[in-house]
Chains A and B, each alone.
Chain A
Amino acid sequence: MTEKRDITLTINGTSYDIRIDPRRTLVDAIRDDCGQTGTHIGCEHGVCGACTILLDGEPVRSCLMFAVQAQGRKIRTVEGLANGDELHPLQQSFIENHGLQCGFCTPGFLMLATGVLEREPDISDEDMLDVLSSNLCRCTGYANIVKAVRAAAAKMNAAKINATQTNATAANAAVAQRG
């Protein structure tokens, strides 16, 4: 047998010290060793995308990596999306637009869309379709997922513009005070 290794995984800002075989996939370690079962396992060979997580901000299939490879990297999973009781705009949007039925694929879609929208907030509809074609959903027929992600993108961009304007107003006020 191969030797077990002691590694530390950082998931949503929390460190987990675990002892695993090198052959342990990242998704198994996240679920079984770290107890974060929000990330789902579907096909276990990279086709379905249910296990999609963010690794240093990039969407990856966590069934196609070994846990030992994720040491020292920042892992984000669906458990880290909501801020306390306040859902992430994508989560809220999936509810409002009926972007899920059984919900099995949802954590993967949420992390995929989060990763892409954080990187490319102004992504074109065509590129977003290409990205969303990465994961499988057997309930929705995708139309509502696409709708939900578009709505969330618009909301996230509007929130960012508001924040910028608020900052600008505050800065102007500060300048005015100083002046």
Chain B
Amino acid sequence: MKPAPFQYHAPKTVDEAVKTLAEVAGEDGRILAGGQSLVPIMAFRLARPTHLVDINGVEALARLAVDGDKLSIGACVRHAAFHKPVVDGPLGRLLAKVVRHIAHYPIRTRGTFCGSVAHADPASEWCLVSAALGAEMVAKSAKGTRTISAEDFFQGIMTTALQEDELLVEVRLPILPADSRTGFYEFNRRAGDFALGMALVTYRMENGVISEPRVALGGVEPLPRRIPQAEAALAGRPPGRQAFEAAAAAASAAVDPLEDAVTSAEYRRDLTGTVTRRALEQAVI
């Protein structure tokens, strides 16, 4: 239960961090941010990085700010930063609600938003938020900076579009319009456990019916994603039991659920409908 030896690097600037990463990436060099996923994996020796580039000392990466119509979340912003709404309106309230489902309090004081997104566990709440809202991921390497859409970013279980020499410096979330209705529902067997299924929904109202619906699922499939069939079941219909049940059924039918030792695909499919409906039921005001 002790991590294997590694060389430790503690850069002070983003440029220094990506330069060091470029030098060590080929030898399984990794970024160390909050360490709440990486360090346990290292303790189990499932990962044995030979170099760790610790970005906790890079002050510029602790930035959390509204830039125009986006909320910019730097690589060192901890989960705990979201306990209180970080921005007025539905987005801040949604993030404050979601964050309480992430592991436990002492994990949230260290773990980071971007670290969770880069790690891309299928049951990560922030990955679901990023996929649902259409986040932009800003990746930087010694060669340059590029922006990746959430759709292209998540590629599979713990697999993303990030190259080994790229640092996820920032995730940008679109600020939700003030009249957006949002809902989030997660199911697991004990508080703080990995989600067995979770749904995040947002929509707006236009002439008494649902417009711009977004329905996304996490913890169900290898990667979080929006479910177009469920969104189609909502668009243009008045919010209520009928529309919600139709969307839940559509979501349940559309997914290809993960299976593990204790949770069958059938169970997760059933759960998908339930979490979708419950998330929608929250999003009525």
Given the complex, which residues of B lie within 8 Å of A60, measured CB to CB?
106, 109-110
The dominant DSSP class at the B interface is loop
Interface pair A133/B8, CB less than 8 Å apart: no
- With an 8 Å Cβ cutoff, the count of chain A residues facing the other chain is 32
Given the complex, which residues of B lie within 8 Å of A23, measured CB to CB?
2-6
Whether A64 touches B105, Cβ cut-off 8 Å, given contacts A22-B8, A46-B40, is no
Interface pair A130/B105, CB less than 8 Å apart: yes
- With an 8 Å Cβ cutoff, the count of chain B residues facing the other chain is 28
A34 at the interface (CB under 8 A from B): no
Shortest A153–chain B CB gap in Å is 16
Which one of A64, A112, A131 contacts B40 once the chains associate, using CB atoms below 8 Å?
A64
Which one of B5, B36, B104, B191 contacts A2 once the chains associate, using CB atoms below 8 Å?
B5
Interface pair A61/B110, CB less than 8 Å apart: yes
> Can you list, as one digit per residue, whether each of A16-60 has a CB less than 8 Å from chain B (1) or not (0)?
000001110100100000000000000011100100100100111
Which one of B4, B56, B100 contacts A69 once the chains associate, using CB atoms below 8 Å?
B56
B192 at the interface (CB under 8 A from A): yes
A5 at the interface (CB under 8 A from B): yes
Which one of A45, A59, A68, A130 contacts B1 once the chains associate, using CB atoms below 8 Å?
A45
Which one of A1, A45, A133 contacts B5 once the chains associate, using CB atoms below 8 Å?
A1
Interface residues of A in 55-98 (CB under 8 A from B): 55, 58-61, 63-66, 68-69
Shortest A44–chain B CB gap in Å is 4
How far is B109's CA from A64's CA once the two chains are assembled, in angstroms? 12
B164 at the interface (CB under 8 A from A): no
B238 at the interface (CB under 8 A from A): no
How far is B54's CA from A112's CA once the two chains are assembled, in angstroms? 25
Shortest B48–chain A CB gap in Å is 10
Shortest B84–chain A CB gap in Å is 11
- Across the A-B interface, the 3 shortest Cβ-Cβ residue pairs: A134-B104, A22-B8, A45-B40
Q: Which chain B residues have a beta carbon within 8 Å of chain A's beta carbons?
A: 1-8, 10, 35-36, 39-40, 43-44, 52, 54, 56, 80, 100, 104-107, 109-110, 191-192
Additional pairs, 17, CB under 8 Å, beyond known A22-B5, A63-B39: A2-B6, A22-B7, A23-B6, A25-B3, A45-B44, A46-B40, A49-B104, A49-B106, A59-B105, A60-B109, A64-B39, A65-B110, A69-B56, A112-B106, A131-B105, A133-B191, A134-B107
